[in-house]
Each structure stands twice: as C-alpha cells, then as structure tokens.
Amino acid sequence: MAADARLRTVDEQLEIVLAGLGSIDPIELTLLDAQGLLLAENVSTEVPLPGFDNSAMDGYAVRAVDTRDATPEHPVVLPVVGDVAAGATSRSGMGPGLTMRIMTGAPIPAGADGVIPLEDTDRGVAKVAIRRPVQSGECVRRAGEDLPAGAPALGAGAALGPQQLALLAAIGRDRVIVRPRPRVLVISTGSELIDVGHKPSFGEVTDSNSYLVTAAARDAGADARRIGIVPDDHSKLLDALESQLLRADVLVTTGGVSMGAFDIVKQALSELGTVEFTRIAMQPGKPQGFGHLGDRVPIFCLPGNPVSALVSFEAFVRPAIRKLLGKRNLQRATVQAVALERVDSPAGIRQYRRGVLHREATGGYSVSLVGGAGSHLIASMASSNCLVVIDEEVTEVVAGSRVTVIPLLLANR
C-alpha cells in the first residue's frame, strides 16, 4: 500500500462494515432471557386484558340503582350475602337489593354493576351502610378494556424492557422470538503477551486488550467471550480462528495490523477468508482490518495499542453489534462541551482524544483531555469517561470553544 494513498474516512469504513454484516436468525427465548432484546415477531393477545370484569377497589359489589338515595346522613343499608375473593373461579351472583364484599381484582358478581369502596361504607359484615350513590360501572374494570382479545400487543422491533415483558406475561406468553445477542469472540494476538495473574518477564506484556474488547462488546449488548491470547504464529492463529468460526457471529482480533515485518494476522486470515487491511483517516486507529472468514463471519482486526483498540471498537465494532441486535440508533449519543484546553489535530484526520466530561453548574458540559496522544497510555484511558471527537476538517480547537464529545456511559450490567 503506497504511503501517500488517500486514506479512507471513518464514515466510508463504517459504511463498508455495516454493509458487510448479515443478519442473525431470530431465536426463541423465555421471557427473562429476552430482556433487553428486540422482538422479532408480531405478538397479538388471545385473551382479553383484563380477562373478566373485576373490581378496581376493595369494597362491596352493588346494583347502582339500589344506592340511589344514599347520603352520609341517611346511608342505604343492604344485606351482605357473601364474599368474592380474587382467585374466585366460579362466577358469583346476587339478587336485587343485596351486596357482596369484594376484593380488588375479584370478578364482579352477576347482578352487580358497580362497587362501593370500603371507605364509603361502615365496613359491615352481615349488612353494610352505604353512604353515597354508586354509578353504574363505578370501580369496575371491564374485560378487554386494556387490550381486547385478538388485538396486537407488541410489534416486531419492540425493545423488551420490564414493562414489555410484563405485558407478554400478562397475555400468557412464556417464550418469544427475538433477535439474539451476537456471539462475539475476542482474540489478542502477540508473542509478547502473557495472561493476567502472572508476573511479566523482560519484554512480556500482560494482555489487556481482550478484556477491554470483551467488556466493551458486552456493554454494547453482545454475548461476548474472551478466547484469549494467540502468539504471532501463523498456524496457531489459523487453528484458533478455525476452531472458533462455527461459534461466532463476529470475531475480533487485536494486534498484528501494523506494518512491521512480523505481522502474521494478515497471512493467516488470507487462508480463511477475505479480509481487507486499510488505513483509515483517524487517530488513533489508522490501521484496521475488516472482512469475512468462511464467507460468513465478519471479522474485525483492531490495532494492538489499547487506546487504538478502544477507539476502533467504538467507531466500527459497537455500531456493528448494535446493527446485529436490530437497534435503530447505532451510534452513541454525543454532547457538545466547552473545551477547557487547546487541541490541535491534523487536517483530513478524525482525531479521538480521551477526555473527562464535567457537568457544569449552569447545566452545560465542559471537557478536559487526559493522556495526550499516546495510544499506549492505558492508565490515563482508565481515568477518562468520554472521547473528544475532532472532525476531519478541524485542525485547531481553541480553549473555550465547543467540541463534540462521546460520553462512554456504561450499561448497568
């Protein structure tokens, strides 16, 4: 690749990535396993909600007409001929001039057309004094008033949060067809890498990228798994990739995409599929690989520096995971913040700097930079809570001017 070839823009690369994603077949999951996912079917209800006319209050079921003359001073006193509990499975009935004690949610007895709340009575047991007239239909929840039988409940594409899962449960569904979490497998490449829990010898580096990317992929909603470290060895990498291909919807490697003599990722990948290595007009993250293994599984080859890996993940992998999940908004929300210091940026390059976003007392945001431009600075990366984006056409941000910031908000789980 010629050093002076025009670099591809971030937006162009993202377009290529998104166009290169297939879709993952929907799966059927139990309700609680479907939390956070998008529905992949149109769900209608067979049963009405509520399922039967029932009481909205604890009180007494009455015929409204029998209470017409009730006042606080001259209550209407009616005999109580029984109790209706929630969970009553046979329909009660009562004649004119009678009442039944009824719980919230219990079926309205045949013959009654309203409920007088306990508070408006003397709470009598054998007979009850009713202190005001009841309207026909008062405190009655009608069968089907929330959702009639046969009505659509939730459409394909609905995000399943607690309220939506509750509705699916209410209409009796125990399983639903959803778009699954993409299975993302993460590999760190590099002969210098050792795993956590071991003391590095001279020249060894503890692998952190696979933790970074696996956690970031989970945060984005993927079912991500860390495969671990593969040394810079052609056949070992080939074996690792081949053995994981069937279990993956997306593969991510870090390392091995620089221009050095020892890079072996490219060679191994060329035997398993078609992966394009590109230089992107971004900083950090210039060298990137994207393609497919076995003609099916998208693979991202991210740079090996942790900051480059994070920025590349945010720019390309996170939107891809969200697209596979079926989400409409692929990008994180951005905010405008006042830059607290000057930033220079090369023309034609989209620069991503790590920052600390502050909420101002006035309600706006300001942002300071941490960590300089060094993409190996992992401690300063860990102290940042946002990325500051300096667009391609901007070469200078003066202190006090506004910049675009991507807060790296965490999902709760």
Interaction with a copy of itself in 88-107: which residues (CB under 8 A)? Answer: 88-91, 101, 103-107
Q: Between 238 and 382, name the residue whose CB sits nearer to a copy of itself.
A: 382
Binding residue (CB under 8 A) for a copy of itself from 198, 235, 246, 393: 198
DSSP assignment of 196-255, as one string?
TTS---TT-EE--HHHHHHHHHHHTT-EEEEEEEE-S-HHHHHHHHHHHGGG-SEEEEES
Q: Between 285 and 304, name the residue whose CB sits nearer to a copy of itself.
A: 304
Q: Rounded to the nearest whole angstrom, what is the least distance from the CB of residue 116 to a copy of itself in the complex?
A: 14
Q: Is 41 in the site for a copy of itself (CB under 8 A)?
A: no
CA-to-CA distance for 399 and 339, rounded, in angstroms? 5
CA atoms within 13 A on the CB side of 11: 5
Find all residues with CB under 8 Å of 189, minimum gap 6, and list them.
Answer: 229, 230, 231, 232, 237, 253, 254, 255, 256, 264, 265, 304
Q: Is 368 in the site for a copy of itself (CB under 8 A)?
A: no
CA 267-271-276 angle, to 5 degrees, is 65
Contact 303, 309 (CB under 8 A): yes
CA 150-151-152 angle, to 5 degrees, is 120
Q: Which stretch binds a copy of itself (CB under 8 A): 162-170, 238-246, 274-282, 391-399?
A: 162-170
Binding residue (CB under 8 A) for a copy of itself from 382, 395, 402, 404: 382
CA-to-CA distance for 204 and 184, rounded, in angstroms? 27
Binding residue (CB under 8 A) for a copy of itself from 70, 282, 381, 389: 381
Q: Rounded to the nearest whole angstrom, what is the least distance from the CB of residue 203 to a copy of itself in the complex?
A: 4
Q: Between 3 and 19, name the residue whose CB sits nearer to a copy of itself.
A: 3
Q: Is 355 in the site for a copy of itself (CB under 8 A)?
A: no
Q: Which stretch binds a copy of itself (CB under 8 A): 71-79, 143-151, 269-277, 397-405?
A: 143-151
Q: Which stretch binds a copy of itself (CB under 8 A): 68-76, 161-169, 239-247, 338-346?
A: 161-169
Helix (H) or strand (E) holding 62: strand 59-62
Q: Is 161 in the site for a copy of itself (CB under 8 A)?
A: yes
Binding residue (CB under 8 A) for a copy of itself from 2, 72, 126, 203: 203
Helix, strand or coil, per DSSP, at residue 17: helix
Tokens 């769900």 sit at which residue?
Answer: 43
Angle subtended by helix axes 318-325 and 10-19, to nearest 10: 30
Q: Between 310 and 388, name the residue whose CB sits nearer to a copy of itself.
A: 310
Q: Is 25 in the site for a copy of itself (CB under 8 A)?
A: no
Beta-strand pair 402-407/335-339:
antiparallel
Binding residue (CB under 8 A) for a copy of itself from 141, 179, 183, 350: 141
Q: Between 192 and 276, name the residue whose CB sits nearer to a copy of itself.
A: 192
Helix (H) or strand (E) holding 43: strand 43-44
Nearest to 325 by CA among 151, 183, 208, 216: 183
Helix, strand or coil, per DSSP, at residue 378: helix
For residues 225, 231, 233, 234, the Cα torsion angle rounded to the nearest 10 degrees is 20
**Interacting residues with a copy of itself between 274 and 303 (CB under 8 A):** none
**What DSSP state is assigned to residue 8?**
B
Q: Is 216 in the site for a copy of itself (CB under 8 A)?
A: yes
Beta-strand pair 99-102/183-189:
unpaired
Q: Between 292 and 322, name the residue whose CB sits nearer to a copy of itself.
A: 322
CA-to-CA distance for 91 and 84, rounded, in angstroms? 9
Q: Is 53 in the site for a copy of itself (CB under 8 A)?
A: no
Token pair for 282: 């971004």
**Interacting residues with a copy of itself between 104 and 123 (CB under 8 A):** 104-107, 118-119
Q: Residue 115 — φ and ψ, nearest 5°?
A: -130, 130
Q: Is 260 in the site for a copy of itself (CB under 8 A)?
A: yes
How many residues belong to the site for a copy of itself (CB under 8 A)? 106
Q: Between 88 and 338, name the residue whose CB sits nearer to a copy of itself.
A: 88
Q: Is 170 in the site for a copy of itself (CB under 8 A)?
A: yes
Binding residue (CB under 8 A) for a copy of itself from 24, 27, 132, 192: 192
Q: Between 294 and 374, name the residue whose CB sits nearer to a copy of itself.
A: 374
Q: Between 90 and 362, name the residue whose CB sits nearer to a copy of itself.
A: 90
**Interacting residues with a copy of itself between 219 and 238 (CB under 8 A):** 219-221, 226, 231-232
